[in-house]
Chain A
């Protein structure tokens, strides 16, 4: 008997690295087995008519904070990976903020076990890197973390346990951590804000009675980011470390990164939708629900980030999805400094970006690069992830780029949907019609398949090092 495909998605506009073709994608054993133009269709157990919708590689989200096991009430792997699937994300890179953070192989194993039981999408972990448990870095690398993450600031008040072993609070500590990570060959991701500047500014603002939303932005000025990035680039050069600057929010920091890349340095830049689609002028109305670190910037900064998407400086757009309870956010209404920083973003990212593509603000190839290809490459998951190509995992997203719809927090799948105010009511295109992870449909027609909990697999670093950084500057 002739072999049969498990799944054939036909009549789609298929986004491959070379462009978009009209045709079909066939899946067998969880991998992409055939690409064809549709004039002839191979046998398949299941056929799906895409009706001309856009078939994209599943998104690789480089910046995710799920709260299990520390704070499952905020949102754990089951609810939040359903939200990821709803947003066209099929691979998440989970950050180490947890209690305790994964600064050792044993803690990592525990988190992998938890995620394995309930995740709908594939997941990889950053390892925690900090001065405190620096000797654990090699064991984490051997255990398969895709990268490391460290923070340059002190733990937020009341969240000390969530930040254990992931802090590089002094220059000496940072150099030590970069040295240790450099030896593993993995990327060291950093939250780049100068904590001293923030502490003194915050103190002054508080003394002046400022606790409104704008005070948050003022307390973390662009200088805090730009200076931290400058320092990181210098230190990374010294240590020979590959660094990824997380959630870059200012054109000034982007310029520094661009120049470092041009000089051939292994530097990666991430930005997030909140810095591209919101500015402080229009975010103030959301108060604590618009509180992020780094803060949402002014309009000129927001506009100033876009050219860095086009010129290849930005490697990936992570959501920084970080659910909180409304009860945690609400104290920020009266005193912005009391609210935790962060918010959800899985379900908004893809429609926002595809809308920017429709509007001509974002080239389609830059979109593909930043949501799939480059993150997968940088973190050792390529070409299994991040691309529609022969032999790649059948991680696929079918999106409707024709019909506008309104982002509605009530219809979201994240447990923290009540806090999803930032784009609530915005008209966009790019509704996700269906999402497949390794050939299995885990989300379609507005709901996730609850039986797919546990379908998500842990992804180790492939061991391959991303090739010369110059790859990424063309």
Chain B
């Protein structure tokens, strides 16, 4: 207990004095979380909608894959991406490993299944008559998608919250694909791992506190939006 107190005493000034190294990690982490969650949402919503509303071969397989991906260890995802983007890999020409872009890609891949699986499940849970009635009155694909997303918004937002949490705190893939290079492509989570391995425990605690605060602020904010009856207004084409 005494040791923890001493660590906190050393860690807190790093935060309050705005340690430049720490602040650069915070900024990069926010960028990674925002871009990875944004990309996962942009890619994942149409896939989730297609699974829930579409009639095509392989629809069930796609949903099983999305659901199974929720349990995939990030280290495995990192290894997979590393071999895909490595010099001899199929996408080796992109020269992605040990770059910041690699971190964005890794976190997007990890966040994507959450958006897909939650969106599909939330829409499949809607009263069946609602979408059938919209079809019966002539709703087109875009109108159906807008209706489905709006009605299932609580579940869809839960998926986005889970994706954001993954993008903020998962470390396994980032370390393998990005290399966890000090001062270059570290996120708060991977930096905490780095400092812990180096036995810099005060730095680890400082980073950990900031990460916890960031998670609380970002995810709390999205959760508040979710809980406000209307949630985020997903108006692709407003009728009223």
- A complexed with B: no
B residues sitting closer than 8 Å to A (CB atoms) are: none
A residues sitting closer than 8 Å to B (CB atoms) are: none
